[in-house]
Amino acid sequence: MRRSLVLTAALVCAAHVYAQQPLGTVKTQGNEVSGLVTVSNGNAVIGNNAAVAAGIQPADVMLSRGGAVKVCSGSAAHLSQTTIAVAKPPLMVALDRGAIEIHTHAEKMDSILTPDLRFEMSDAAPLDLRIRMVPNGDTCVDNAGKDAPILHVTETFGDSTYFVRPGQRVLFEHGSLREVVDHESSNCGCPRPDDLVLAGKGKLGDGKVTEAMKAHPFPEAVSQGLQQPESPQPIPVGETHTRVNSTLAYNGPANTVTGPPGQTTTAADVIPTGTSTTPAPVKQATDIHVASTKPPEDGPHPFRAIGHFFRKLFGVHDD
């Protein structure tokens, strides 16, 4: 009887320890974290669930079970785990928008969700999974690694199923299991900052990344639909800004560069005397100035005439 009581007490104690185990931690700088979290010294300790929205840089959620979930720049995801008294509670990751990368030892009860799809594991196995979803619903899935679990994919609203094999990369167009590209070549994970190259040598550039490019990187997350572009700043009251649109055309036979009406520059004007007669690049003729622009003069308006025609056709008369 005494031995039974000691064993019961040990199980209760173990269950208490497992139930109190946090899901993981994530840095708060540059990220938005909400839910059951405790923040201290720039780190958020996630209890059982949290919503993580990454800023310019990815947000790395370090899992207590081991491994990490990378929420890519401009992306948002929910993470939660059950309170089942086990060493590795089942993990659920829901991608709200953008892209995520999951690197952990998956358990059979783990699941990943998008607004259109649900992914379940065939068995416990090392997971190196990348999922990217763009606004039109196209969902790219890269189940990397030969030892990865088979992913059983089902539709949130539908009865179709699909199996993503280890090492397979697929694209579910519009989030549909009926429109599948089973040999997708594009990147399914986060935008890579080391993809920046300096053009100039060879077809792919020389591969160098300057300090200026590091300080002001190309917003790949914006270009790939993972992050909204910044809104233009409003013009302060009292300031006047002028925008001038013009065209620049080069005429090979005539050897002239033509700008706004009435302004024509010949090659002799932009090529110094004694140099090659090869036509100058267009950039050498960009010193052409536009003095002013003005609206077109009043005259017959074709769209106005069309409007009168339809009014007469449907019996509507102008006042």
pLDDT band at 140 (very low <50, low <70, confident <90, very high): very high
Chain segment 102-117, per-residue pLDDT in tens: 999 999 999 999 999 9
Quick one: pLDDT at residue 12? 44
Mean pLDDT of 27-56: 93
- Return the higher-pLDDT residue of 312 and 286: 312
Q: What is the pTM of this model?
A: 0.59
Report the run of H or E that residue 311 belongs to, with start and end.
helix 302-313
Spell out the residues 6+ positions from residue 207 whose beta carbon is closer than 8 angstroms to its own.
197, 198
Triad 243, 249, 254: Cα angle to 5°: 150
pLDDT band at 2 (very low <50, low <70, confident <90, very high): very low
Q: How deeply is 283 buried, as exposed, middle or buried, from its count of CB atoms within 10 A (0-12, 13-18, 19+)? A: exposed
Between the two ends of the chain, the Cα-to-Cα distance in Å is 102
- What percent of the chain is predicted at pLDDT more than 90? 46
Quick one: pLDDT at residue 47? 92
pLDDT surpassing 70 at residue 297:
no
Q: Which strands make up the sheet holding 256-258, listed edge to edge?
A: 249-251, 256-258, 264-266
Lowest mean pLDDT among 11-20, 139-148, 204-213: 11-20
Mean pLDDT of 133-154: 95
Quick one: pLDDT at residue 308? 59
Quick one: pLDDT at residue 82? 86
pLDDT surpassing 80 at residue 148:
yes
What residue segments make up the domains of the chain, in order of their start? 14-181, 193-223
Quick one: pLDDT at residue 204? 43
Lowest mean pLDDT among 66-80, 209-223, 237-251, 277-291: 277-291
Q: Give the CA distances from residue 185 to residues 7, 114, 168, 219, in Å, rounded to whole numbers and listed in that order.
A: 55, 21, 10, 21
Lowest mean pLDDT among 37-46, 135-144, 309-318: 309-318
What is the number of other CB atoms lying within 10 angstroms of the CB of residue 224?
Answer: 19
CATH, domain range 14-181: 2.60.120.1440
